[in-house]
A and B are shown apart, each in its own frame.
Chain A
Amino acid sequence: MSAPSTGGASRDGYGSGLLRIADDPRVVVIEADLGKSTKSCHFRTKYPSKSFSMGIAEQNMMLVAAGMAASGKIPFASTFAIFTERAFEQIRNGIARPGLTVHICGSHGGIHTGTDGSSAQSIEDLAIYRTIPGMAVLHPCDDLSAEELTVQLLDHDGPTYMRTARNKIGRIYDHDSVRELKIGRGSIIRRGNDVCIIACGVMVSQAMVAADELADSGIDAAVIDMHTLKPLDIELVDSMAKSCGCFVTAEDHSVIGGLGGALAEHLSTGITAPLEMVGVRDEFGESGESAELMLKMGLTSQDIKNSALKAISRKSG
């Protein structure tokens, strides 16, 4: 098992975040035979007495976490995003309904997961957990922000779901800028007035590429890392609606019920503005390299760019 790598995938950030909060005696880590993948393995190696392996049994893991939370512990339970879904009802009824603070991490979220194929590529996790009352839903974009948000979870009251990604991508934050992050507050990583691109996870870096290319043709795009999908930072969305007048969302997730869905829900009941969504179009993925899959399924900077032009053209006046 390797040490947490620097400049890695967001799942590495989860692993190093756990190490940073390990001194808190309330913190416990629970695994379902995927600790090497979710990266909770580093915690388990260093703190075996605070780590609990539940075998390949996700439903039991979620309720064990609930029982621990009800006994004064702060459990961090992780597996692949897709396999948390097996225990959806356990999370809903056993964790969220009694309002227990259990932090669930689902790694390997999205199409980006790659060659494992569609059985491992969760494209609906953000949507389903968003529907659970009182549950916060997070999806950081790089390792540093995943680490920072994991650390912040220690002081967060109530159940949470954090999706991390399998693969390394370029860092969006550095060690200073990452400290500005706050759960529940979207982070403006590029300013602009023509269109606002709101992205999460691996699509944030794609959004930055798209914004650079738009700038070449004289279009000023703002980019927001919406690492917290719920509660959605509606103050920020409203202010961007005023300054930019139109939106593009970008997510490695179904356009139904995820970030795009969340934006649509908000924009259709408050300040209205044209919205274009980049995301998975109600279809399953398949095996392939990340880059080829993202291309095939419409999840590239080029898709974001096209959507931005379309959103701008839909602005009235």
Chain B
Amino acid sequence: MNSGRELPSLSIEELEDMSRRCRINIVKMTHEAGAGHPGGSLSAIDLIVGLYGHNFLRIDADDADWEDRDRFIMSKGHASPAVYSILNEIGYLSEEDLMSFRTLGSVCQGHVDMKWTKGVDFSAGSLGMGLSFGLGCSLAAKMDGSNRTIWVMVGDGEVQEGEVWEAAMAADFHSAGNLKLIVDRNGIQNDDFVNVQMEVGDVASKFSSFGWEVIEIDGHSMREIRDALDKAKSINHSPCVIVAKTVKGKGVSFMEGNPEFHGKAPNDDELRIALEELS
């Protein structure tokens, strides 16, 4: 076990408050950068806060490089503001770091990057690769006899990538019971709605037919998130996926369910409204 500082386990209300602070940072940092991906960050943040805030993710708050830490692999790397905002809550990143998002030399690169940022476990940006990487981490942990858990998050557009299903099939074959996947099922991708671009259908039953344990939840209910993470963690015989129904842009009225705000930052007026709504 690590000797360092564990994260405190927070109450539902405290977690909801943490999500709210993270949302504020997500809109502020994308506004400051004049670029970035607020929509998919806002849909994912409750799940991420649940993961870190409930202490499901076993990390050392004083030592981001602790070798036997659990891993969180953010495969939809464009949702980097969500990751940076939680790393700020943990203390790995400062407020100043967040506001340097996407500027030259910043530790907050446009897409999450393990080479640049303490606490980031994967260099993403190219969709479809994170689950494979997570499987590699999972198999290595099993070889080491470690009980570390590997958490991966993908978008629902991302599961159109074939490599995701290569990894899903391999994870079942290799009985990767320490591998947990969260699908952010917000129904929107880059250009448009998923059902316009190429509907991915019943993601849960697809994974189920690949041999995975499946949990379906409302990805904005902190209670459901907590219970799902708890259940996922207790499943050891096979890989497990949480398909979380979410709303892209959640928490900011004009971003909610709006494909426009996939990869567009709020302007000054929009930021003002967003902050009013979130405060």
Contact = CB atoms under 8 A, between A and B. Distances in A.
A52 B141 CA distance: 14
21 contacts: A28-B140, A50-B143, A52-B174, A55-B169, A57-B166, A59-B132, A64-B133, A64-B167, A64-B170, A67-B137, A71-B140, A71-B144, A72-B144, A73-B143, A75-B136, A89-B126, A90-B132, A93-B129, A97-B113, A97-B123, A98-B113
Interface of B: 67, 113-115, 121-123, 125-126, 128-130, 132-141, 143-144, 162-163, 166-167, 169-170, 173-174
B114 A67 contact: no
Interface string A15-49: 00000000000001000000000000000000001
Contacts of A60: 132, 135, 163, 166-167, 170
Nearest to A63: B132
Interface residues of A, number: 30
B137 A68 contact: yes
Contacts of B123: 93-94, 97-98
Contacts of B174: 52
Interface string A200-226: 000000000000000000000000000
Contacts of B121: 70
Contacts of A61: 132
Interface of A: 28, 49-50, 52, 54-55, 57, 59-73, 75, 89-90, 93-94, 97-99
A63 B114 contact: no
A89 B67 CA distance: 27
A84 to B, nearest CB: 15
B136 A67 contact: yes
Nearest to B141: A71
Contacts of B128: 59
A55 to B, nearest CB: 6
B169 A94 contact: no
Given A90-B163, A94-B123, A64 B135 contact: yes
B143 A90 contact: no
Given A59-B129, A93-B125, A93-B129, 11 more contacts: A57-B166, A60-B132, A60-B163, A60-B170, A62-B132, A63-B129, A63-B135, A63-B167, A64-B133, A67-B135, A70-B136
A64 B139 contact: yes
B169 A73 contact: no
B12 to A, nearest CB: 33
B141 A59 contact: no
